[in-house]
């Protein structure tokens, strides 16, 4: 009798442990998903803010070169560096 009750208790404990693991696993997945969504939203917001800044900068600064980031005021940075090193 004692063996039978112990084996039943063990089975119940294992079952409870499995259920607990499942529940914690689901909880962790949900929390991870929430965190990923928050991160994604915050990155999207940061990107949108950067785009707004660039648009504002473009409106007020006509010398800003969008096509070639290595050009400043219509001159090549390498040429400027060569000139500076000659000095």
pTM (global) more than 0.95: no
> What does the domain layout of the chain look like in residue ranges?
2-86
Determine the Cα angle at 54 with ends 48 and 59, to 5°.
130
* The dihedral formed by the CA atoms of 37, 38, 41 and 46, expressed in degrees to the nearest 10: -140
Question: What does pLDDT average to in each consecutive run of 10 residues of the chain (87 residues)?
Answer: 77 93 94 92 83 66 53 58 64
What pLDDT digit, counting tens, does each position of 1-22 carry? Answer: 666 677 888 899 999 999 999 9
CA distance 60 to 75: 20
Task: Find the radius of gyration of the CA atoms of the chain.
Answer: 31
Helix (H) or strand (E) holding 22: helix 2-60
């Amino acid at each position: 009798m004692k063996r039978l009750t112990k084996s039943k208790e063990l089975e119940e404990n294992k079952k409870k442990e499995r259920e607990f693991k499942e529940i914690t696993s689901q909880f962790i997945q949900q929390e991870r998903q929430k965190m990923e969504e928050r991160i994604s939203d915050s990155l999207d917001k940061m990107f949108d803010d950067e785009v707004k800044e660039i648009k504002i900068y473009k409106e007020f600064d006509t010398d800003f070169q969008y096509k070639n980031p290595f050009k400043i005021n219509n001159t090549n940075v390498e040429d400027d560096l060569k000139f500076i090193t000659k000095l």
